[in-house]
Amino acid sequence: MRKKSFFICGTDTGVGKTFVTGVLAAGFKSQGVDVGVFKPLESGCKVKKQAGKNIYQRTDSAWLKKISGSNDPISLINPYAFRDPLAPAIAAKREKIFPSLSRIQKSYQKIKKNHEIVLIEAAGGLLVPVLGKKTNLDLIKTFKAPVILVARLGLGTINHTWLTYHHLISHKIKVAGIILNQTTKNCGLAEKTNPRVLKNLGFPILGQLPYSQNQSPQKLSQLFVRHLKKLKKLNF
């Protein structure tokens, strides 16, 4: 199988990018695909002091490693971790950390070499500053990977999805499709009507994931099979 990579980006913060990336990882793995995961920058990590050094607890990256079954070391999956729950570029500046795009690229190439498919998870939305003035859009151009856009169902998502999608298209970025993710247990009128509105507007909807507190590999792979049928055969 030809090696593939997808860049998972959100229309906003809190849309469930990590959860959706986990669903994709579990789903592809259940098909017998060797999955690699890559989260170049993770902020909001708890920090422990050990021998005078900061040890970062990479919650999201560690979870993706577990779900995907990847044997890659966590330092390769996530080259840069930061304490503050802020945009990576701002969090890095506060800690006087200077992330290198070269190191990120080298980490990605190593992971890509080891796996059939690589899921790259962004930190934040499309135009969040991640390396100095560089944004996730710049990382997408660097990796040359098609984007899977994650959007929530609630009020405001039509505007957020439209803006993000058309900004990607205007920069000639290939968008594999959009996954709608229910982030709250209860659905209001907006959550019930927005999916149909987005489909009628012509957005390439790959599927809609229901709210789920069960994040076991088995449950995630079931969600993939039941709700993301367009992705099952990797027909991109």
pLDDT tens-place string over residues 85-119: 999 999 999 999 999 999 999 999 999 999 999 99
Query: Token digits for 210?
Result: 């229901």
In a domain, 9, yes or no: yes
pLDDT tens-place string over residues 155-203: 999 999 999 999 999 999 999 999 999 999 988 999 999 999 999 999 9
Verify whether residue 39 is a known catalytic residue.
yes
Q: How many domains does the chain have?
A: 1
What is the SS3 string spanning 214-234?
A: CCCHHHHHHHHHHHCHHHCCC
In a domain, 234, yes or no: no
In a domain, 69, yes or no: yes
In a domain, 148, yes or no: yes
pLDDT tens-place string over residues 39-87: 999 999 999 988 888 899 999 999 999 999 999 999 999 999 999 999 9
Q: How far apart are CA 182 and CA 89, in angstroms?
A: 29
What pLDDT sits at residue 236?
45
In a domain, 236, yes or no: no
What pLDDT sits at residue 235?
47
Q: Which domain holds residue 122?
A: 4-229
Task: Choose the catalytic residue: 17, 39, 65, 112.
Answer: 39
pLDDT tens-place string over residues 133-152: 999 999 999 999 999 999 99
In a domain, 10, yes or no: yes
Q: How far apart are CA 191 and CA 185, in angstroms?
A: 11
CATH for 201: 3.40.50.300
